[in-house]
Homo-oligomer: A and B are copies of this chain.
């Protein structure tokens, strides 16, 4: 589009945004671009009415100041770039995770928070190894390599690898109904795609992540030697997406690997031609002893109710494929920047604000459990916790674990925040890291647009270059704006 007067019209309807046009300059640009006499000037002027005469309130001005601080000279993008550069690979217990802890502590100290400290916690240490190899053995097309990656927590294959026939499965029911002898000694290929019909992509993820988490156990129960899982993404891409596999100890632990959606479709098509094709898989991932690591916490002390806490958090650990930019570097930066811009906007919080960078969300949740344990031990009253762990995309609102008056109060903030694109004020799950505080605190999850999240989730493409500056900044501001309202008005029981 290029017609200038439309840009002006299009800018108008965000009625609560600060309107910096003056009327004469609008007309100045408007009139000369009209292609024909202005027959409908009155109609068009009505469109500006709301914009021009909306009265700002103290809250709307405070929130405007918060957004301004995020969008003009904001630090979200710069901080995330730095984290992705100094600690791109930061799975729990790794040297990268240690570097990330140091970065978090140094950065929050440099931001001038009232106190910054580390919370020690023992975390699991799983290493990918240097061998992730898979080769098809078929009569029709000869040997062909597939790109695989071990699922996090997987056992390795025996040295020399596993070679066996592949059997394709879509649901656990289908597998359970199968005679054991059809599965025994084989490699089970779980190929249930995410459902593209679900608008909110986390629903589609929830609908099939079970095959990644529990597929190995289910296959092992039927005597399989290994399992191969279709990557959890809606994208038609050529790289595997990792994620954790969970062994429940009732059966033998078998190796579990992911393949890309393109390879999954290819393998499935080949199986239709040659039902008894085989796969050779070789991996040497390993679980090492637990390692001492840390949650990183920064705090701005409250002026009136310092013993009431408002928490914003994300997780500092990340899978070792990309740089953990969206998952969950974005969430860490959202939390840190939310506190910074609240202060930069001139607001003095009554309650104590905490930015918490949790360790070990991806494969253990040890940091979250430790945080909740210590909060309980120190009898810290957490009024509300906001988690950001759904990427650094354009924010659309909040999922709240709330009902009754609490929910009503939160939803009453919608009018103030809709002009900033926050339209979702729904009951819903908050986030893994704050979940151990359930029942002790109001829990809220920030919800960005979900369309692109699983393109990058746990994959090589979860890198800083795939994060958009303004989208990230808007997330920080959205959390800060809600923290402001929670701080100012508290949380009704």
Residues of A in contact (CB 8 Å), total: 102
* 9 A-B pairs in the complex with CB atoms less than 8 angstroms apart: A3-B432, A4-B206, A7-B203, A10-B428, A11-B203, A17-B198, A71-B196, A201-B470, A452-B468
Segment at the B interface, from A34-42, A120-128, A334-342, A349-357: A34-42
Segment at the B interface, from A99-107, A162-170, A434-442: A434-442
> Which B residues lie within 8 Å of A363 (CB)?
2
- Interface residue A251 (Cβ < 8 Å from any Cβ of B): no
Q: Is A2 in contact with B197, judged by CB distance below 8 angstroms?
A: no
For A202, give the chain B residue with the smallest CB separation. Answer: B10
> Which B residues lie within 8 Å of A394 (CB)?
394, 449, 451
- Interface residue A185 (Cβ < 8 Å from any Cβ of B): no
Segment at the B interface, from A220-228, A272-280, A282-290, A415-423: A415-423
Q: What CA separation (Å) do A214 and B243 show in the bound complex?
A: 54
Q: Is B470 in contact with A17, judged by CB distance below 8 angstroms?
A: no
- Interface residue A9 (Cβ < 8 Å from any Cβ of B): yes
Q: Is A199 in contact with B403, judged by CB distance below 8 angstroms?
A: no
Q: Which of A23-65 contact B (CB under 8 A)?
A: 28-29, 32-33, 35-36, 39-40, 43, 46-47, 50
Q: What CA separation (Å) do A423 and B469 show in the bound complex?
A: 23
> Which B residues lie within 8 Å of A396 (CB)?
421, 423
- Interface residue A244 (Cβ < 8 Å from any Cβ of B): yes
> Which B residues lie within 8 Å of A470 (CB)?
196, 201, 234, 451
Q: Is B1 in contact with A39, judged by CB distance below 8 angstroms?
A: no
Q: What CA separation (Å) do A452 and B12 show in the bound complex?
A: 19
Given A2-B243, A394-B451, residue A17 in contact with residue B200 (CB < 8 A): yes
> Which B residues lie within 8 Å of A36 (CB)?
436
Q: Is A3 in contact with B33, judged by CB distance below 8 angstroms?
A: no
Task: Name A's B-contacting residues (CB within 8 A).
Answer: 1-14, 17-18, 20-21, 28-29, 32-33, 35-36, 39-40, 43, 46-47, 50, 67-68, 71-72, 195-207, 209-210, 213-214, 234-236, 243-244, 246, 248, 315, 327-328, 361-363, 365, 369, 389-390, 394, 396, 399, 401, 403, 418-421, 423-424, 426-432, 435-436, 438-439, 445, 447, 449, 451-452, 455, 458, 468-471, 474
Shortest CB distance A481–B (Å): 12
Q: Is A40 in contact with B439, judged by CB distance below 8 angstroms?
A: yes
Shortest CB distance A218–B (Å): 11
Q: What CA separation (Å) do A279 and B424 show in the bound complex?
A: 51
Among A2, A67, A455: residue with most chain B CB under 10 A: A2
> Which B residues lie within 8 Å of A201 (CB)?
470
Q: What CA separation (Å) do A203 and B236 show in the bound complex?
A: 35
Given A4-B213, A328-B1, residue A11 in contact with residue B401 (CB < 8 A): no
For A452, give the chain B residue with the smallest CB separation. Answer: B468
Shortest CB distance A265–B (Å): 14
Q: What CA separation (Å) do A213 and B46 show in the bound complex?
A: 25
Among A17, A197, A361, A471: residue with most chain B CB under 10 A: A197
Q: Is B429 in contact with A6, judged by CB distance below 8 angstroms?
A: yes
For A391, give the chain B residue with the smallest CB separation. Answer: B1
Q: Is A6 in contact with B431, judged by CB distance below 8 angstroms?
A: yes
> Which B residues lie within 8 Å of A8 (CB)?
203, 206, 429
> Which B residues lie within 8 Å of A401 (CB)?
43, 47
Among A50, A209, A235: residue with most chain B CB under 10 A: A209
Given A196-B470, A207-B21, residue A6 in contact with residue B403 (CB < 8 A): no
Q: What CA separation (Å) do A3 and B455 show in the bound complex?
A: 18
A-B pairs with the 6 shortest C-beta distances? A9-B429, A11-B203, A7-B206, A423-B423, A3-B432, A10-B202
Q: Is B1 in contact with A390, judged by CB distance below 8 angstroms?
A: yes
Among A17, A46, A435: residue with most chain B CB under 10 A: A435
Q: What CA separation (Å) do A120 and B245 show in the bound complex?
A: 61
Q: Is A33 in contact with B213, judged by CB distance below 8 angstroms?
A: yes
Q: Is A12 in contact with B203, judged by CB distance below 8 angstroms?
A: yes
Q: Is A202 in contact with B71, judged by CB distance below 8 angstroms?
A: no
For A210, give the chain B residue with the smallest CB separation. Answer: B29
> Which B residues lie within 8 Å of A205 (CB)?
7, 11
Q: What CA separation (Å) do A196 and B74 show in the bound complex?
A: 11
Q: What CA separation (Å) do A401 and B43 show in the bound complex?
A: 8
Shortest CB distance A362–B (Å): 5
Q: Is B46 in contact with A13, judged by CB distance below 8 angstroms?
A: no
For A14, give the chain B residue with the smallest CB separation. Answer: B200
